[in-house]
Amino acid sequence: MKSRRRGLLAATTVTLATTLALAACAPGTGTGDETASPGATDAEVSTDLAALGEVTLTVWDQETRGGQDEQMAQLNAAFEEAYPNISINRNSQSFDDLETTLRGALTGNDAPDVVQANNSRGTMGAFVSAGLLRDLEPYAEAYGWADRFSEDVLAVSRYSPDGVTFGSGSLYGLPQVGEVVGVFYSRSALEPIATEDELRSADWETFTGMLADAADAGLTPVQLGNIEGWPAGHVFGPIQAQHVPAEDIRALATGNEGASWTSEGNMAAAAELIEWSEAGYFNEGPNGTDYDAAWSAFAEGDGVFLIGGSWLAADLEAAMGDDVGFVVPTTADGTAATTGGTGLPFAVTEQSPNADAAAGYIDFITSDEAMEVLAETGNMPVNRTAELAPESGVNADIYAAFGAVSEEGELLPYLDWATPTMGDTLGATLQDLIGGQADPEQAMSTLEEDYSAFVSEG
């Protein structure tokens, strides 16, 4: 027994000694040094892709679902045909997988050339401040991206080179598609409550009145599957847009200084979400329902409305056909304001030895011609949206809504972009509100804590 104990002691000592020895060399120093000199942006950029010689571009995307995968395949093939000297090595993973693997990939020795990096502070912001993504300004100038894209769209891929400011500064990526969150409705379920024209011209107050009517009629007014936490963010976003000035929401969602979660407007928005929950506007137990189960239930006829993003359109149309419509209720003064943005932007890694080819590739897959491919494969192109809108069907509604919101209204960024931890904090807090576990003050001060801790640090 004694000798065993001595062995243990020795082992502990060795471990401790090793730990202390290792403590001398800090983790991450290898990549940290590069922060000081973010890229050789002053270098000449070339847009003559055919003259680049044999190049293999490794591209990591998350375009895995039906139409997304198809557009990517078509555009990659077209690119390789146009530039036979460049071949694409595509690696496609789900959104969640990409979010978790990118950190390792970008800090490794063999980083991909082009990656789809979420606009958020936690992903693109963290990469920018660690000097892992290339500043695309020179290419933006060379290719004239500012003429092609609206400034609002580019803004959410802009960071200051130190990563401190989000929404302005250098451009770090370009998106292919637009996204807008709004109200899907079932024409047949709506019938006993209101006419379609009434809904389509409704402002927020009229819309919430319809929710009350639907509840009174014993229907499920809004389907919500919120076991994952983030889906409620897409319900809260449009509600918040009714109560809080757009500029404040932008500051809160981009994690920049100058706004507060504990403002009167945010309190009112939180109170409205509680009200919805208490008044029975949601299905039974939204916090215990799967996101996918909720929209399936809506597609099968349970529920009048579903508040969600344009990415659901293809699946809903496949299941509901002509029965599904999409609308963005306006605020009292007639502006369309709602959450939305772009698909994940494509960015070029700092490590890539083929930056010219990579930027050329991004230019190619976001070109005006590429927008046609995107529309044909059932995706909502970020540019030329109104022009390429289908004549009928739910996508006609969505294209029109995106156009109206991004051009004349307020397209508000996703709230969980704000800080690396905001996705978690927001998800849990909204579950608390819906589950009746927190009052507006408690909930909003939790969010404020996350936001202000980040802002003061940055």
Partner 1 sequence: MTSPTTPARRAPSQPRGQRRRHPWYRPWLYLAPALVVYGGFLLFPLVRSAQFSLFAWDGLGASEFVGLAHYADLVADPDLRAAFGHALVLIGFFALVPLVLGLITAAVLRRGRVRGLSLFRTVVFVPQVIAMVVVAVAWRQIYAPDGPLNAVLDAVGLDALTRAWLGDYTWTLPAVGVVGTWVQTGLVTVLLLAGMSRVPNELYEAARLDGANAVREFFAITLPSVRGEVAVALTLTIVAALKTFDLVYVTTSGGPGNSTTVPAYEVFQRAFRTGEVGSAAAIAVTLTALVFAINLVVNRIGGREGHR
Binding residues for partner 1, rule CB under 8 A, total 51
- Looking at residues 292 to 351 of the shown chain, list those that interact with partner 1 (rule: CB under 8 A): 293, 297
432 sits near partner 1 (criterion: CB under 8 A): yes
Stretch that binds partner 1, among 209-217, 273-281, 380-388, 431-439 (CB under 8 A): 431-439
447 sits near partner 1 (criterion: CB under 8 A): no
58 sits near partner 1 (criterion: CB under 8 A): no
240 sits near partner 1 (criterion: CB under 8 A): no
Lay out the site mask for partner 1 across 361-400 (x = CB under 8 A, - = otherwise): ----------------------------------------
**Residues comprising the chain, all counted:** 458
437 sits near partner 1 (criterion: CB under 8 A): yes
Q: Give the CB-side neighbour count of residue 35, counting CA atoms within 13 A.
A: 15
- Looking at residues 273 to 302 of the shown chain, list those that interact with partner 1 (rule: CB under 8 A): 283-290, 293, 297
- Looking at residues 142 to 161 of the shown chain, list those that interact with partner 1 (rule: CB under 8 A): none
Residues paired with 203 in a beta bridge: 330
206 sits near partner 1 (criterion: CB under 8 A): no
Stretch that binds partner 1, among 18-26, 53-61, 248-256, 387-395 (CB under 8 A): 18-26
Pick one of 57, 111, 126, 312: the residue that binds partner 1 (CB under 8 A). 126
Lay out the site mask for partner 1 across 219-238 (x = CB under 8 A, - = otherwise): -------xxxx---------
Please identify, using beta-carbon distances, which residue of 410 and 432 lies nearer to partner 1: 432
Secondary structure in 3-state letters for the chain? CHHHHHHHHHHHHHHHHHHHHHHCCCCCHHHHHHHHCCCCCCCCCCCCHHHHCCEEEEEEECCCCHHHHHHHHHHHHHHHHHCCCEEEEEEECCHHHHHHHHHHHHHCCCCCCEEECCCCHHHHHHHHHCCCECCCHHHHHHHCHHHHCCHHHHHCCEECCCCCCECCCEECCECCEEEEEEEEEEHHHHCCCCCHHHHHCCEHHHHHHHHHHHHHCCCCCEECCCCCCCHHHHHHHHHHHHHCCHHHHHHHHHCCCCCCCCCHHHHHHHHHHHHHHHCCCECCCHHHCCHHHHHHHHHCCCCCEEEEEHHHHHHHHHHHHHHEEEECCECCCCCCEEEEEECCCEEEECCCCCHHHHHHHHHHHCCHHHHHHHHHCCCCECCCCCCCCCCCCHHHHHHHHHHHHHHHCEEECCHHHCCCCHHHHHHHHHHHHHCCCCCHHHHHHHHHHHHHHHHHHC
Q: Smallest distance from the beta carbon of 129 to partner 1, in angstroms?
A: 7
Rounded to 5 degrees, what are φ and ψ at 211? -60, -45
Please identify, using beta-carbon distances, which residue of 248 and 450 lies nearer to partner 1: 450
1 sits near partner 1 (criterion: CB under 8 A): no
107 sits near partner 1 (criterion: CB under 8 A): yes
Distance CA 12, CA 7 (A): 9
Biggest distance spanned by C-alpha atoms of the chain = 86
Please identify, using beta-carbon distances, which residue of 22 and 77 lies nearer to partner 1: 22
424 sits near partner 1 (criterion: CB under 8 A): yes
427 sits near partner 1 (criterion: CB under 8 A): yes
28 sits near partner 1 (criterion: CB under 8 A): yes
Rounded to 5 degrees, what are φ and ψ at 113? -85, -45
Stretch that binds partner 1, among 20-28, 59-67, 188-196, 407-415 (CB under 8 A): 20-28
Please identify, using beta-carbon distances, which residue of 86 and 105 lies nearer to partner 1: 105
Please identify, using beta-carbon distances, which residue of 74 and 421 lies nearer to partner 1: 421
- Looking at residues 65 to 104 of the shown chain, list those that interact with partner 1 (rule: CB under 8 A): 99-100, 103
Pick one of 57, 59, 72, 106: the residue that binds partner 1 (CB under 8 A). 106
Q: Smallest distance from the beta carbon of 55 to partner 1, in angstroms?
A: 27
What are the residues binding partner 1 (CB under 8 A)? 15, 18-19, 22-23, 26-29, 31-33, 35, 99-100, 103, 106-107, 122, 126-127, 129-132, 226-229, 283-290, 293, 297, 420-421, 423-424, 427-429, 431-432, 435, 437-438
